[in-house]
Each structure stands twice: as structure tokens, then as C-alpha cells.
Structure 1
Amino acid sequence: MIGLLRGRVLVKQPPSLLLEVNGVGYEVEAPMSTFYDLPDGDQEVVLYIHMMVRDDAHSLFGFIRESDRALFRSLLKVNGVGGKMALAILSGMSSDEFSLFIQSGDVKALCRLPGVGKKTAERLIIEMRDRLDRI
């Protein structure tokens, strides 16, 4: 499994970026919070990686902060939430805002995220409430 990549960002086209590590280019999907925190220019960056292997694809998801990767992995355990939706959640609000909305049971705030309907928001609140303390 790939857990961390250190290299230079060659291309930024949200939600994807191309990270060059020792001559190999890795296509990595990342939330907007990671894009905002990427260094300018030709500086080296370290990304915490979640590698998802499916029958039809191998996908890499990258995060500047390990806590964002932990939240992403927790979101994947929620029924009906996949990689794209978890990225949309992390792109649409900070992890602190997400935690606040989950703890307060704010369905309306979660429904403003792209792809999150009322049932998914309710499921997120129920399933994530206990997990957030561990993250």
C-alpha cells in the first residue's frame, strides 16, 4: 500500500494533481483544502495517501494533513459514501465545521454539500457521531 508520497506537484487541476516522485508521475485526487495548502512553485510537498483498489481502477487520494486522511477513511465506512463523495465533503467544509455539524445534528448544513441528500446527511450524523471522537 502507498501511505505517503514526497515530491513536486507538476499539474494542478482540481480535484486531480500530478505529483512527480523520483521521475514517476502519480495522479492523485485531493480535496480543495489540500489544494489551498499546496506550496507555490517548485517546492517539495508531502501528501498522506489513501490507496483505493477496485476491480476497475486503482485510485490515490492525497491529503496535506494526516487528520484529513483519517476523516476521509472514516467517511468511507459510512454506507453510501464513496471516494468521490468523501472528497466532496472535505472540499465543501473544513473538518472542524463538519464535526460541528455532525455533533449538532445539522442536516440542512450537510445537505448543502454536493451529492449529499437528506437521507445521506442523516446517515452521516448517525454513523459519524461516535467516530469523530476517535479521529
Structure 2
Amino acid sequence: MKGWSEDSTLLTVLAARERGLHQPMVRRSPKAICQYLHPDFYEVGRSGQHYTRDDVLKSAYEDQAGLDIRIHAEGDYCRRLSAGSALLFYRSANLRADGSCERWARRCSLWWLTPHGWQLRFHQGAPIGSLS
């Protein structure tokens, strides 16, 4: 984003944490979810629905098929807001078996530095057209 300085080390750390959340193995594990998501986590999804950490934990038990979706992410950008908080921006899409992408979204994640490391505190997705 124009005029914003970027912290490349922090970008690497937060992008890796975000990608971890995209992994079905993590999305199926309540223990892993609790390591990644702050207790006060709140999300406004691509669809406009909202979710809490408890909702995400519940889906780890109930929505096994939905957890197998493969996710492509690109265009990461990070902005440190304070010593203990940062915003991560990126684009994502569902990855089809043939390698093509569908359901593109612009994403923004607020990461919070806790005694347990960086945890996701807020996440929002908004649909965008396909990228060419």
C-alpha cells in the first residue's frame, strides 16, 4: 500500500502463520486452532457471515468435508501497527484439482503478539472478481 513501510521479517512470520490456518490438518485440530486464534478472535467471512473462535472450534468437530478445501494465497503485505499488533493483507482463492482458482477474496488479518506468540485476533474477507 502506497506510503506504508513494510516489515519483511514480520511479513514472513505472519504469512506463514496465516498459511498454517489454511491447512486442513490445522483446521481439524482444536489444539492447533487454539494456538493460532486469539481467545477473542472474530471473523467476518467472504460471505458476510461472522464467526468466533468457538464457532471455528465447533466446525473442527462437525464440518469435516468443508475443511478439505485447498486454498491459494498471494500478494501478502504487512503493516506493523504497534510492538504487539500488525495487519496482514492478501488475496486468496479456492484451489481446484486442476490447479485453477475460484472464489477470489481480498483478506485482512489483525495479528496480536501474545505470550503464546502471534495469534489471529480479527479476520475479514471480501469477494473480488477473478484475477487474470
Q: Which has the higher contact order (CA 8 A, sep 6+)?
A: 2
Structure with the larger helix share: 1
Report the TM-score, using the length of structure 2 for normalisation. 0.28
Larger Rg: 1
Report the TM-score, using the length of structure 1 for normalisation. 0.27
Structure with the larger strand share: 2
